[in-house]
Amino acid sequence: MAKIVVVTGGVVSSLGKGIAAASLGLLLKSRGFRVTTQKLDPYLNIDPGTMSPFQHGEVFVTDDGAETDLDLGHYERFIHQSVTRSHNVTAGQIYDSILSRERRGDYLGRTVQVIPHVTDEIKKRIHSLSLTTQADVHIVEIGGTVGDIESLPFLEAMRQLKLEHRKDVLFVHVTLVPFIKAAGEVKTKPTQHSVKELREIGIQADILLCRSETPLSSDVREKIALFCNVPTEAVIAATDVGSIYEVPGVFHDGGLDDLVVSMLGLPDRSVQPPDLTAWNEFVRRVTRPEKQCEIAIVGKYTHVRDAYKSIIEAFVHAGAANRSRVNLRWVESTDVESRGATALLGDVDGILVPGGFGERGIEGKIAAVQYAREKNVPYFGLCLGMQVATIEFARHVVGWADANSSEFDPASEHKVIDLLADQAGVTEKGGTMRLGAYKCALREGSLAARAYGAREVSERHRHRYELNNRYAQQLASRGLAMSGKCVGRELVEIVELPDHPWFLAVQFHPELRSRPHDPHPLFRDFVRAALERRAARLGNNDYVPSAVASAAAEETSQA
């Protein structure tokens, strides 16, 4: 079986367990090991697909159409391999599976209990993924914070795994060592109590990753080691950094990958340290950019940055590819409605309208599109961003004043143009969402085809409405180029304006496919267009001095 590394978190939430798991995966993969990662979430939802972005942040969609936790996006970006629905397990999925079997009579009259039935199902999901991926190392991240009642069945399952496979399971605990400003020192007590919580349920942490604002002295590390019953070398400082992409280097310098290899008895396949040359070059471009531009994200959930996590990271990748810093200006679409596009977008170098659900803020997004089209500002629309771009074009270029969504208003004195139609098809859950990867054929010579350098691509979707083909020809005759269509379904995937400096909108979510070493071509070219606009407006006085280069990804580096 695969060696299993279990990553848990204590003291407070949002310590960066996902980044820690992804960083360890990167380090082990760079040493030649086959690595897979899995997130176990304790909430009772089947998946995060029905959760509000204000509650959960982004829903990360996989190629096979699973709606998953945003940490899976970190796994893909750091380890540079795609995940599937099996890589995210929720308590809701576990209980749903068990109760379905109970109703069918599969348990033959036995009492169904947390132990062994729930814990056995959790372990089965872990072993199944290990076998499917043929991984050497399987990293399992447990959602939530140690001490929460919701995560107890998952932690109990991990305790049993350790008992059953003593030499093949390792526990890495992410904890907090806060700096108390008034006292002028760091405090180890929260970490001690967090490790104590683990011990009380039968788990001894093997390695501690200690989040701290300041470096940990040797005395502090020795104190933590003594009270938490781990070797001093197993207390690794996870000091705050400017970019999440610096974390693998911090952990490597702290000896994390060496410790894991040694403690699990893995064959050290390299006498030299892991080859992080390409990764370090990427980090250098992120932290020391040569240029900068400012792009407005006109969205509906801008107060919750995690709602746009993959978009943020795609801009980091695209910025690095262009040796530039991308400053993101967060603009609520409802503010555009009340204050006007010129006031909020008048000095930006590019405008992006992301996806979203519901009617709130739609008119503000349409106004942002109109501003970008009329003022020749580079525009990039994602999912809903393509739909509002089409509506804006229909209203203000074609002249269909009532062009809107598929919701027909019988009380309207004028015909409401049904530009969007519910054509996605029924999913296995009974909804009408088009989820997962679909192939898209690109028109030769189009902006999209030049960016991709291909005639056909595969991209991930998460939406309900499609552009209504009934009006496609009329829109195209007035200049809206439909440069990408879904293979086999004739659904419009990409629209462009050929007479605009850079105006492109897509029905899919390209941000989900962007990686540090492989930035998404549409994001890359969009940033390039924004840089060209800035240069034309301001000349070349956009160099970022090295003194402030450490702030290169301020908006994009929160773990």
Q: What residues are labeled active site? A: 383, 509, 511
Rounded to 10 degrees, the C-alpha dihedral 91/93/96/97 comes to: -120
Q: Letter for the amino acid at 212?
A: S
Whole-angstrom distance, CA of residue 208 vs CA of residue 221 = 10
Contact assessment for residue 190 and residue 176, using Cβ atoms and an 8 Å cutoff:
yes
Residue 111 burial class via C-beta count within 10 angstroms: exposed 0-12, middle 13-18, buried 19 and up: exposed
Provide DSSP, 475-505.
HHHTT-EEEEEETTT--EEEEE-TTSSSEEE
**What is the 3 state secondary structure string of 407-448?**
CCCCCCCCCCCECEECCCCCCCCCCCCEEEEEEEEECCCCHH
Q: What is the widest separation between alpha-carbon atoms in the chain?
A: 78
Q: Letter for the amino acid at 467?
A: L
SS3 268: coil
Rounded to 10 degrees, the C-alpha dihedral 208/211/217/221 comes to: -20
Rounded to 10 degrees, the C-alpha dihedral 387/389/394/396 comes to: 150
Among candidate residues 407, 434, 417, 408, the one with its CA nearest the CA of residue 472: 417
Provide DSSP, 321-361.
HTTEEEEEEEEEHHHHHHH-HHHHHTT-SEEEE----SSTT
β-partners of residue 6 are: 140, 171
What angle in degrees, to the nearest 10, is found between the helix axes of 17-30 and 256-263? 70
Q: Return the structure tokens found at 45.
A: 């939802």
Contact assessment for residue 334 and residue 364, using Cβ atoms and an 8 Å cutoff:
yes
Whole-angstrom distance, CA of residue 78 vs CA of residue 94 = 28
SS3 78: helix
- β-strand 434-442 against 420-421: which pairing, if any? unpaired
DSSP label of 518? B
Q: Return the structure tokens found at 329.
A: 């200006």
CA count, 13 A, side-chain hemisphere, 544: 22
Contact assessment for residue 67 and residue 84, using Cβ atoms and an 8 Å cutoff:
no
**What is the 3 state secondary structure string of 99-131?**
HHHHHHCCCCCCCCCHHHHHHHHHHHHHHHHHH
Residues belonging to the chain: 559
